[in-house]
Structure 1
């Protein structure tokens, strides 16, 4: 198999088979990112497809010394942001992610947890998913890239085309916004989050 840079050069010269190979190499990563951004399978599939179409037509302007994967992620994020600017969010973050191995639920349950603890953690995850859909686009993007795709601050700066300081500031504000929204949702539902319950227990002792 040709390396990525060779495939890019061939694609830029009009070789559609080479671009199809690039799609095959990156489609899983782009779809995973699209799932986290869009929140449901149907919109994620549309977003990923639109991102690759956009990449195909913008390929001649791509500088091949840059990282192709980072460039694709930037296009995907920008496509999602532009879409959200044109419509009100309609997120379904409770839906499982569809993968080649079947459905994958978005929450992680501790196998050794007691039933009550497992229930509390599931409730907490539900609040996190809902809160993630309600915070600003700017905050959601950096949290998805950092917490779900394990991007470094430097990589996020390249994807978003902004300074490292801006990325650090956005992530800090995004984490605060998410924490506050999760807490508000829990209070509205009359549910004590695990951390709050532990804190109260410590105060009682």
Structure 2
């Protein structure tokens, strides 16, 4: 068992996935879980702020992968598939939370939002539409602000952005805050939260 486990550590992700998918190899799948579960949990925790929710989201993802493995095709990087799948689960969770707790949000028109059915709100907050809103509004921002914001949402630390673009960290922070203000002012708190989730990398 130890030698088998050691061998699995030398396999790349897609090889392990094929072993799990085609041969029902639970040890290969366990190695994928070992490699990524902690990183997935850390991401979910940053986005949701709840350890319990984060554990559930990650567990649900791996259970789904194992149960549905024969029907899932992963041709590109396995880690990108994993983090993208988790991102969708996080967005779905946040959308449900926002719909359930609209009365606690004071940065949007509560009366108008509350008068809409949950289905309409969820439709407005659909992933496709938020992505379109995000892309369109980001394209209208000043080039430097857009560049800084995209790098920030891609996980590049402010200090590194400052070095790469020859800016001060304060200037980087200014550009990021400016972009977030524009998005919030135009679309309200609900959409800006989902834009933030969509823009972040895994």
> Is the pair's TM-score, using the shorter chain for normalization, greater than 0.5?
no
- TM-score under structure 1 length normalisation: 0.44
Q: Which has the higher helix share?
A: 2
